[in-house]
Amino acid sequence: MPELPEVETARAIIDKYALDRRIAGVDDTDAYVCRPHAPGDIRAALLGRTLTGAYRRGKSMWCETSGSGPLLGIHLGMSGKIVFSDSDGVEHDGGDYWDRGRKPGDHRFTRFALQFDDGTFMLLVDPRRLGRVRLDPPVEKLGPDAREITRAEFRRALDRSTVAVKARLLDQEAMAGIGNLLADQALWLAKINPAKPVDELSRPAIDRLYQAVHESVEAAIAGGGVHTLSVIPARRNDGRCPRCNTLMRRATVGGRTTYWCPKDQK
């Protein structure tokens, strides 16, 4: 599933290629992806405008539009990516890292599209059809972005909670952007058991986790996605800790399948 790093690569594609181009066409006919809007609603709101800025908080992304237009919210879901197509058909994409044999010009999985008046396109390509496009998304409900969060904000996000620390990391209203794989990586780096209640964490442990979250996010962005993180290959039944070679354990924590090292993460 796309997490903060994948969404950041998608945002960067929009920022680099799609801004300040006049919108000449909108395909918003997929009523499921564009809910609650009826087909044609997003088109009517965007035609003739330009995208003036691309922003992200956690796993949520949105674009500002010209002329005091609405925000265009884009959520990648579990398999989405943003594809920008030049007028000569050359494509640039960011988001989830699947391939599925897709070639430039293959629109089987396109769920939403903007056509610009210079012959270029911006597409939401999503095989599993779990992405979402909507106007004026409620981004104000999200917590601080996990890439930008300060140490003080991080401490407050973990303050006075009795839930498992992994569940707290996954709470998008407490801290936006951490998904299942990022959480496992950060907790492994910080040597913290994912099921440990937040109120049992010492201040040094919280500070280690803060540093581990930042290291994990930056490593995933630099590497091209969360699938490149060091603990990910060990997330299997016979997986072994990359640090000490102990057999990894598996359980459900915070509603998600979780792996951790029983020797290092106590």
Residue 15, token pair as written in the block: 């920022």
What per-residue confidence (pLDDT) applies to 96?
84
What per-residue confidence (pLDDT) applies to 32?
97
Tell me how far CA of residue 151 lies from CA of 55, 87, 145, 213, in angstroms.
Answer: 22, 45, 12, 11
What per-residue confidence (pLDDT) applies to 105?
82
Mean pLDDT estimate for the chain: 94
Tell me what percent of the residues of the chain surpass a pLDDT of 90. Answer: 84
Q: By the 8 A CB rule, do 225 and 5 touch?
A: yes
56 has which bridge partners? 61
Domain 4-140: CATH architecture, name and number where available:
Alpha-Beta Barrel (3.20)
What gap in Å lies between CA 155 and CA 174, rounded to an integer? Answer: 11
What per-residue confidence (pLDDT) applies to 112?
98
Q: How many CA atoms lie within 13 A of 105 on its CB side?
A: 4
The pLDDT tens digits for 42-88 are 999 999 999 999 999 999 999 999 999 999 999 999 889 999 999 99
What per-residue confidence (pLDDT) applies to 159?
81
Collapsed DSSP state (helix, strand, coil) of residue 125: strand
Q: Angle at which helices 4-13 and 203-223 pack, to 10 degrees?
A: 40
Domain 143-260: CATH architecture, name and number where available:
Orthogonal Bundle (1.10)
Collapsed DSSP state (helix, strand, coil) of residue 263: coil
Average pLDDT score over residue span 129-155:
93
Tell me how far CA of residue 84 lies from CA of 23, 49, 57, 93, 131, in angstroms.
Answer: 13, 17, 21, 6, 17
What per-residue confidence (pLDDT) applies to 123?
97
What per-residue confidence (pLDDT) applies to 104?
81
The pLDDT tens digits for 162-201 are 999 999 999 998 999 999 999 999 999 999 999 999 999 9
The whole-model pTM stands at 0.87
What gap in Å lies between CA 242 and CA 116, rounded to an integer? Answer: 47
What per-residue confidence (pLDDT) applies to 56?
95
What gap in Å lies between CA 201 and CA 194, rounded to an integer? Answer: 11
What per-residue confidence (pLDDT) applies to 1?
57
Question: Which residues participate in catalysis according to the annotation?
Answer: 2-3, 59, 256
Domain ranges within the chain, ordered by starting residue: 4-140, 143-260
Q: Which backbone phi and psi does 231 adopt, to 5 degrees?
A: -85, -10
The pLDDT tens digits for 37-49 are 999 999 999 999 9
What per-residue confidence (pLDDT) applies to 139?
84
Average pLDDT score over residue span 242-264:
96
Contacts of residue 27, defined as CB under 8 A and 6 or more positions apart, other chains included, come to 43, 110, 112, 113, 115
Q: Quick one: which of 57, 115, 58, 60 has its CA closest to 83?
A: 115
The pLDDT tens digits for 91-128 are 999 988 777 677 888 888 999 999 999 999 999 999 99
Q: Which backbone phi and psi does 112 adopt, to 5 degrees?
A: -155, 145
